[in-house]
Amino acid sequence: MLQIKIPKINIKIQNNINLESGLGSSSSAISAGLLAANYYINKNYTKSFSKIKLLNIAHELEDHYDNLAACINGGIKLCIPNKSEVVISNIEYDSNIKLIIIIPKIKTNTKESRINLPKTISVKKFVHNMSRLSLLTNSLKSPNSNIIKTAFDDVFHQDIRLKNYPKLTKLLNKIPDIGGLGSFLCGSGPALAGITTSNPMSFFYEVADYCDKQNIEAKLLITSFTTKGAHIKN
């Protein structure tokens, strides 16, 4: 590691990622901090770290690679720790995919949420989720409603993490019926996401209308995947 003395600096932060919502706020903060430090080092000392080195440094601060790899490199990533390194694979997807993110006012602590998950899983549930993970990674390039809805059918963590929020569970299951191809819990939640490839505004208003009728207080936004990743904007 470089031994460089950093002078006192002022940092102004504008954060648009809700905290404790399952949206990767901690990974984003870590990635942004490392990128800024790397930029400073390169500008003042003509030295810098590669993205894979930044990822490994970030992993020392975050327990898992998945969100970090996506933050730093962009896109959708599969990450597998392998001895002293990490294997990263890129998942291709249809560029027309839009996501409706539903962010309830309630918050969830990731570590506390993880404690509630079972320490073991039955072979039946393991096979169920692994087969759908394989289906999902193979279907995002050419998504259709039947395949995507099946691919997002989880039997391991979503019901457990949403057990105290029955309205959110109903919304999660309702999304494919009101314009979404599929729906899923974002990380440990409580944020939810629905995906579509056509008429995102129509889908947005359908979700907003459902939330209003069910008295679900939440912020909604439309977004999409990006391959750009963390970058310095001059």
Query: What is the number of other CB atoms lying within 10 angstroms of the CB of residue 160?
Result: 13
Angle, helices 25-45 vs 66-73, to 10°: value is 50
Tell me the pLDDT of the chain (234 aa) as tens digits. Answer: 667 777 788 888 888 888 888 888 899 999 999 998 888 888 877 778 888 888 888 988 887 888 899 999 999 999 888 887 888 899 999 999 999 999 999 887 777 777 888 889 999 999 999 999 999 998 999 888 889 999 999 999 998 898 889 999 999 999 999 999 999 999 888 999 999 998 899 999 999 999 999 999 999 999 999 988 888 887
Rg of the Cα trace of the chain? Answer: 19
Summarize pLDDT for 183-201 with one digit per residue, the tens: 999 988 899 999 999 889 9
Summarize pLDDT for 48-73 with one digit per residue, the tens: 888 888 888 898 888 788 889 999 99
Which CATH number applies to 98-223: 3.30.450.20, 3.10.450.50, 3.40.50.1370, 3.30.70.890?
3.30.70.890
Cis peptide before 190 (omega within 30 of 0): yes
| Cβ pair 23, 186 in contact under 8 A | yes
Residue for token digits 């930044």? 54
Residues near 223 by Cβ (< 8 Å), separated by ≥ 6? 98, 99, 101
Residue ranges of domains in the chain: 25-91, 98-223
